[in-house]
Structure 1
Amino acid sequence: MTNATSVGLGVIILIGLGIDATQFDWSGTLFLARKLTDMIEWMAFWR
């Protein structure tokens, strides 16, 4: 991954978080965080 690609990806992520914060009151980020914790617990079970 080049520097330009990583910077572009970081900017896209920050824009998405900003939109979620201002328009949707963090509901999308909270949903993804909850699903990520569920996935981590599920993977820890199979470890």
Structure 2
Amino acid sequence: MTNPIAIVLALVIAGAMLVDIYSYGAEHMIYLGKKLFDLIEWIAFWR
């Protein structure tokens, strides 16, 4: 992956998160962050 593609992808993801937080609030983003952390730990266990 080239740097311009990575930058555009990061901007798209960040923009989608900002729109989601603006529309629905930040409470569910905390929940999703916790679940993502659990998933990362689970995947690291199976590595």
RMSD over aligned Cα atoms: 2.1
**TM-score in terms of structure 1 length:** 0.63
Q: In the alignment, what sits opposite 1:15?
A: 15
Percent identity reads 37
Unpaired runs of at least 5, structure 2: none
Within-5 A mapping of 1:1-47: 1-26=1-26, 27=28, 29-43=29-43
Deviating beyond 3 angstroms after TM superposition, the runs of 4 or more aligned structure 1 residues are 40-47
- Report how many aligned residue pairs link the two structures: 46
Call closer, same or farther: CA 1:45–1:14 in 2, change over 3 Å.
closer
Cα distance in structure 1, aligned partners of 2:13 and 2:2:
17
- What amino acid is aligned across from residue 34 of structure 1 in structure 2? K
Segments of 5+ residues of structure 1 without an aligned counterpart are none
